[in-house]
């Protein structure tokens, strides 16, 4: 049975590939020839015949029309017609690879057969490309300009990118191009490339002040994202942006602006990747591709949507009516089947990024801030440092006053560690929504044995008396197992107006006897996403569940009076989540209490789970008091949990939970925040 299923799968895949080749034969044949490795074939009779066609199709202005199968034989009447079109500028373009691919073909031909006609045609094409560039550095889809969206700066289908890569080869890798322009032309090429890079940097979209990625096309005047065809609305592109970043990463000795653009785009790719799904192609009984759909697959490699909302990065899909839909399944068969709505191109960027970063974006450990107790981190280079870790390295050990690190809006893709000697450090973001620290380590990726979880955190705090405000901390690895966003292994740590995003094990609060305070924070995750041994007060926080699982997994040490205390918190969940436990014991003496909390309907009636540890039912302390919401069902809770009396609840004061009760006259640490 398994063997038959395997055979069926192979047949379906072969059928789909066959269909794709048939459906795109108008484009694929010529492209296959263009991408042939240079060699003796380009001196063959067949290659020379095709080269004659290429010369015929070129217009006097220097460019070529698109979607032409140059390898197809031409009749005498077709040749005469093409000669008659030489002076025409209609449909001359760089769209779908046109012009650039013909120029690259002629370069390969000229290396084997130094026919001066090939050189002349190539240089004429180069002149066409240089003339087509806007003053702001961008290129339209058609030149001379064709009315409509064709005048937009066009990244779609790599139109401008193909030009930029050719110009880069001409100026940086002349060995790749057999035809050598004059020094005067090469000067123009260099200037055009620099203007193109400037255009790319200026068109990178800022979402609430944070650099993200690019649209498939941008208005040639305002540089804002622009619409093309009816189903190609202004949006952030998961596909075209990948090629742009790879181009920027290929630039040697990049400026700080280029480095910032790359770092920001990579962080965006990491943030918007779609995990746990894959595209499934459907074929009929004849083996023909008829449809495609999205299915859940926890082992699938990440995907990215082709189009995402400018405001919130949510994927959308369109029919020819231009109306946004939330899923591919909601659009008609014609557009669903006939367009590439998903891509995995950014995975190439993410794979190459670590090597690039190690080469071009090394931290400067010797840089000194203007003020040693008041530093600024800004990705655009306007502060003392461009990374948070650089600021940590520059901080005094065991300082006599608090070290303030102000972090400007931006996406900081880095693992940050506040060392044990970095006491009294404050990380103050410009805004919770737009000051984001993100990374994507997870258990299997770290692969350091049974304790790999504790090496996965995006932010690790080991210095006592730490403060964080107005920040978002993310672990973007997705639902792949243990992956910590924030790990706190220090005492007297305070978090206010912060967001913590992850799945399993989002927030680790460590330390026997350590005390932490989370106020007005947002914490989201799936399995045991708040866990650890510390005493922690969560006050006025939102606790959001992403899956049917467990909110907390306390490991409160025996004899410790308080564990987790949630006061005035709101418990929410994704739409499809409806079976969530309040907690289960990571260790037998776990303590977790919910007081005056609003519990959504996703909370299970029984409330608590013993983690298959019978002893936990007598040793843990799980309790609630005066909660509300459809998820608060005290009469249905497990009989070994507690509903506090009013008198018992009064003991859960801030001072009792967090304070040092050994000296009543002492000002408490949380009163100095």
- pLDDT at 48 > cutoff 60: yes
Q: Report helix, strand or coil for 608.
A: strand
What secondary structure letter does DSSP report for 570? Answer: E
Query: In this predicted model, what pLDDT tens digit does every residue of 589-635 receive, in sequence order?
Result: 999 999 999 999 999 999 999 999 999 999 999 999 999 999 999 99
For residues 252-267, give the mean pLDDT.
93
Q: What's the pLDDT band for 27 if we cut at 50, 70, 90? A: very low
Does pLDDT of 28 surpass 80?
A: no
pLDDT digits (tens, 9 = 90+) for 180-195: 999 999 999 999 999 9
The domains of the chain are located at 397-663
Q: What are the tens digits of pLDDT across the range 355-403?
A: 999 999 887 778 899 999 999 999 888 999 999 999 999 999 999 999 9
Q: Note the pLDDT of residue 17.
A: 43
Nearest to 30 by CA among 66, 73, 70: 70
Given a cut of 50, is residue 523 above it in pLDDT?
A: yes
pLDDT band at 663 (very low <50, low <70, confident <90, very high): low
What does DSSP say about strands 236-237 and 307-308: parallel, antiparallel, or unpaired?
antiparallel
pTM of the complete model = 0.79
Q: What angle do CA 175, 180, 184 make, to 5 degrees?
A: 125
Are 465 and 493 contacting, i.e. CB atoms less than 8 angstroms apart? yes
pLDDT tens-digit map of 449-471: 999 999 999 999 999 999 999 99
Structure tokens at 449: 């044995």
pLDDT band at 299 (very low <50, low <70, confident <90, very high): confident
In tens, the pLDDT along 74-91 reads 999 999 999 999 999 999
Tell me which residues are annotated as active site. 505, 528
Spatial neighbors of 668 by CB under 8 A, at least 6 apart, are: 655, 658, 659, 660
Q: In this structure, which CATH number among 2.160.20.10, 2.60.40.1260, 3.40.50.300, 2.60.40.1580 belongs to the domain 397-663?
A: 2.160.20.10
Q: Write out the E strands in 497-587.
A: 499-501, 507-509, 515-519, 522-525, 530-532, 535-539, 542-545, 550-554, 564-567, 570-573, 581-583
């Amino acid at each position: 049975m398994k063997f038959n299923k395997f055979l069926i799968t192979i047949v379906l895949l072969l059928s789909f590939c066959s269909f794709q080749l048939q459906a795109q034969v108008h484009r694929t044949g010529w492209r296959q020839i263009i991408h042939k490795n240079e060699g003796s074939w380009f001196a063959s009779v067949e290659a020379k015949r095709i080269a004659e066609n290429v010369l015929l199709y070129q217009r006097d202005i220097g460019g070529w029309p698109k979607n032409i199968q140059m390898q197809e034989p031409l009749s005498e009447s077709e040749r005469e017609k093409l000669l008659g079109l030489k002076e025409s500028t209609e449909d001359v373009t760089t769209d779908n690879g046109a012009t650039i691919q013909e120029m690259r073909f002629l370069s390969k031909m000229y290396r084997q057969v130094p026919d001066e006609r090939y050189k002349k045609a190539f240089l004429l094409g180069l002149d066409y490309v240089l003339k087509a560039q806007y003053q702001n550095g961008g290129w339209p889809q058609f030149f001379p300009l064709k009315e409509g969206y064709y005048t937009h700066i066009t990244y779609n289908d790599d139109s401008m990118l193909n030009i930029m890569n050719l110009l880069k080869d001409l100026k940086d890798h002349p060995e790749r191009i057999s035809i050598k322009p004059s020094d005067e032309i090469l000067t123009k090429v260099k200037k055009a490339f620099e203007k193109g890079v400037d255009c790319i940097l200026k068109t990178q979209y800022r979402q609430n002040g944070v650099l993200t990625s690019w649209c498939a096309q941008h208005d040639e005047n305002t540089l804002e994202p622009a619409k093309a065809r009816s189903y190609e609305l202004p949006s952030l592109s998961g596909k075209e942006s990948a090629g742009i970043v790879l181009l920027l990463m290929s630039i040697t000795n990049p400026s700080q602006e280029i480095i910032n653009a790359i770092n920001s785009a990579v962080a965006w790719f990491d943030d918007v990747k779609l995990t746990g799904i894959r595209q499934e192609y459907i074929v009929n009984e004849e083996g023909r591709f008829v449809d495609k759909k999205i299915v859940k697959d926890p082992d699938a490699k990440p995907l990215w949507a082709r189009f995402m909302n400018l405001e919130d990065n949510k994927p959308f899909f369109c029919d020819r009516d231009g109306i946004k839909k939330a899923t591919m399944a909601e659009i008609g068969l014609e557009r669903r089947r006939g367009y590439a709505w998903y891509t995995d191109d950014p995975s190439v960027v993410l794979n190459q990024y670590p090597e690039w970063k190690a080469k071009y974006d090394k931290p400067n450990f010797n840089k000194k801030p203007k003020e040693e107790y008041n530093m600024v981190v800004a990705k655009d280079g306007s502060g003392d440092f461009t990374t948070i870790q650089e600021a940590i390295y520059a901080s005094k050990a065991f300082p006599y006053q608090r070290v303030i690190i102000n972090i400007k809006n931006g996406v900081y893709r880095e693992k940050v560690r506040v060392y044990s000697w970095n006491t009294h450090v404050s990380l103050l973001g410009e805004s919770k929504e737009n000051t984001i620290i993100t990374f994507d380590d997870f258990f299997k990726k770290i692969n350091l044995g049974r304790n790999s979880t504790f090496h996965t955190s995006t932010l690790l705090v080991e210095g006592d008396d730490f403060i964080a405000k107005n920040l978002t901390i993310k672990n973007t690895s997705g639902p792949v197992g243990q992956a910590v966003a924030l790990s706190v292994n220090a005492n007297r740590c305070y978090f206010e107006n912060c967001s913590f995003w992850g799945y399993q094990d989002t927030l680790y609060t460590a330390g026997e006897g350590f005390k932490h305070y989370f106020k007005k924070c947002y914490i989201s995750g799936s399995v045991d996403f708040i866990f650890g041994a510390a005493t922690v007060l969560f006050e006025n926080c939102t606790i959001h569940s992403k899956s049917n699982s467990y909110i907390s997994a306390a490991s409160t040490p025996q004899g410790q009076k308080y564990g987790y205390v949630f006061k005035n918190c709101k418990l929410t969940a994704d739409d499809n989540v409806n079976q969530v436990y309040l907690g289960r014991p990571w260790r037998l003496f776990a303590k977790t209490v919910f007081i005056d909390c609003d519990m959504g309907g996703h909370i299970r009636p029984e409330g608590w789970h013993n983690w298959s540890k019978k002893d936990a039912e007598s040793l843990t302390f799980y309790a609630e008091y005066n909660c509300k919401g459809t998820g608060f069902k005290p009469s249905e809770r497990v009989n070994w949990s507690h509903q506090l009396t009013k008198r018992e609840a009064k003991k859960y004061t801030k001072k009792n939970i967090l304070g040092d009760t050994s000296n009543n006259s002492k000002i408490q640490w949380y009163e100095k925040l």
